[in-house]
Structure 1
Amino acid sequence: MDLSGKVAIVTGSGRGLGLAYARELARQGAAVVVNDIDSAVAAEAVRTIEADGGKAAAVVAPVGTTDVAQQLVQAAVKEFGRLDILVTNAGILRDKSLLKMTDEDFDAVINVHLRGTFTCVREAFAYFKENGVSGRIITIGSPTGQRGTFGQTNYAAAKAGIVGMVRTWALEMKKAGVTANVVIPVAATAMTKTVPYFQKAVEADERGEAMPAFFRHDLGFGTADDVSGLVAFLASDAAAGINGQVIGAGGDRLQLWTHPDAAATEYREGGWGYQDLVEDFASLFGDKLQGVGEEFLPLPEELQPEARQAPAEPAKVG
């Protein structure tokens, strides 16, 4: 059950995770529209896919606007005759703590991640519905959108917003036979390359060696190729019954994330006033408060970064 005869758009696919997704979709038989803001990078991505034996074309434009979303869908139809799959991967980072983050920092990230996902999905769904295509929408989330990360207000908002949109789209698109899901990748990228905690894993990947088992198994941290199989699977007919889900992939690990639900519930006749909460909140909910940020295991001594030693206690991010 491959993707032969299907056509995919992958935004932000000139390099990194996006290119890995595009190459895997092409390996499974789909023709791919590559998207990047750099014409040379986009052209090289197309050559790479064609060298693998696949079919690809490029659209050089920054996602965010309706015009670019229309360009992408039109390119798929013009170059390959149809559209079946959309992967919204394009993204940028403008990391700063809250008091240092400018309006421009916030708006730039929201525009690419959140608005870019919205406009591209709206355009793709319009095509699917008009042409009776049981299409696949695969959006890219992040652990940051699930649990938060220090210094990423804009990114966390965008990635959490994508999950919220997908849950809504799963309801709206179901009747048309279209599915929408979120993939949470945990992989070596340009961002993780700068984090000392992942230094040994990234260095091994850059040398073409297998990452240490601690990263792949214990942390669920791997390469871009470890995520691309999930993207291709969700694009296939085999995943027709999977809709509105958030699925993580990294290293040797695959995770199905829960949807938010009440962690504890209490009732009081007449409702909860200020004094009631002062007196009772701690005893009712104090031991049920939810954690924030990701907590990483302490690095084994042989995997500690060379520049500085990792903390002895588990490092908390966020």
Structure 2
Amino acid sequence: MQDIQARDFNGQVAIVTGAGQGIGFEIAKELCIRGADVLINDVDDTLLLNAVTAIRALGGNCMALNGDASDLDFIQQMVDTAVAQFGKLTIAIANAGITLFGSFLDYPVESLQKVMNLNLQGSFYLAQRTARQIIKQQSGGSILFMSSATGHQAHPDLAAYGMTKAGLEMLAKSLVVELSEFKISVNTIAPGATLTERTMEDSSYNDTWSELTPMGRPSVVADIANAALFMVSPRSQQITGQNIVIDGGWTSVSPSPKRKD
């Protein structure tokens, strides 16, 4: 049974955006270890090269494509490249996203456009172009959006970000109507506070979120990847239009960290 589960993504081909490090890297790594062929994307070429090297060292079959996951031409290039390299495309995980903090009362237009373009536009069109390919193949498949606990509960200085994440959950529900007949599931997962290379730049992050999280610690990337892989696996074929929150219980109580002056 363990051997079957260890290779339960044999024959699957996935795109994972924003996979140079953190949650995206962990998802891509686990997909490869469990048998999928994966195109991993990141805007940072150095991170991307390091990610591919690390995954291949573990025996995973992956390729890298550097570029902006909000750009429509590049999104199509990712789909075309995955099909050309691996023969098909069955899974897309729109992990790339950007968090730009700022007060609602003076939030700059440029920041809003960046958050909207990557978090919403990039995810929307990756799903669209992936769905077109899956329909052409008549293979069925899975699409996963990366929401956030802040799409469920208000958080200081994250009105724009939270809005985009809540929007992704509504997008997943909407696509049930349009894509279920083609055997394409569309879901979201919503991480809460998670230890990544980026969040650990704040030396107080672990202590702060250990205190605020009912389970006593922030998530680690494996917690998020476990949920992501379940939602795109054969075990969840009857689940679509749904969301899983992975936050150690934070959204049930929702205390905010103290503001830093």
**Common fold: TM-score over 0.5:** yes
> Quick one: structure 1 residues 84 and 33, their matched pair in 2 at CA, closer, same or farther if it must change by over 3 Å?
same
Task: Please list every run of at least 4 consecutive aligned residues from structure 1 whose deviation after the TM superposition is greater than 4 angstroms.
Answer: 194-197, 214-217
**1:240-279 map, 5 Å:** 240-250=237-247
Structure 1: stretches of 5+ with no match in the other structure: 203-211, 258-290, 297-309
Q: 2:195 aligns with which of 183, 188, 195?
A: 188
Structure 2: stretches of 5+ with no match in the other structure: none
Asked if 1:35 corresponds to 2:32, the answer is: no
Q: 1:233 aligns with which of 230, 234, 251?
A: 230
- 8 Å CA contact 1:28, 1:232 repeated in 2: no
The residue aligned with 2:110 is 104
The CA distance in 1 between the partners of 2:212 and 2:83, in whole Å, is: 41
The residue aligned with 1:199 is 206
- What letter corresponds to residue 239 of structure 2 in structure 1? I
Asked if 1:163 corresponds to 2:123, the answer is: no
- What letter corresponds to residue 195 of structure 2 in structure 1? A
The CA distance in 2 between the partners of 1:94 and 1:201, in whole Å, is: 20
**1:87-166 map, 5 Å:** 87-166=93-172
Identity score, percent: 28
- What letter corresponds to residue 236 of structure 1 in structure 2? S
Q: Give the match's secondary structure for 2:126.
A: helix
Asked if 1:85 corresponds to 2:85, the answer is: no
- 8 Å CA contact 2:75, 2:126 repeated in 1: yes
Quick check: which has more Rg, 1 or 2?
1
- What letter corresponds to residue 156 of structure 2 in structure 1? F
The CA distance in 2 between the partners of 1:89 and 1:228, in whole Å, is: 11
Q: Over residues 169-193 of structure 1, what are the superposed CA-to-partner deviations in whole Å (9 max), with x where a residue is unaligned?
A: 1221111110000011131135543
**1:1-80 map, 5 Å:** 1=5, 2-80=8-86
The CA RMSD over aligned residues, in Å, is 2.5
Q: Which has the higher contact order (CA 8 A, sep 6+)?
A: 2
> Quick one: structure 1 residues 30 and 215, their matched pair in 2 at CA, closer, same or farther if it must change by over 3 Å?
farther
Asked if 1:176 corresponds to 2:182, the answer is: yes
Q: Over residues 99-144 of structure 1, what are the superposed CA-to-partner deviations in whole Å (9 max), with x where a residue is unaligned?
A: 2311001000110000000110000000111111211001100011
TM-score by length of 1: 0.73
- Measured after TM superposition, the shift of residue 250 of structure 1 is 4.3
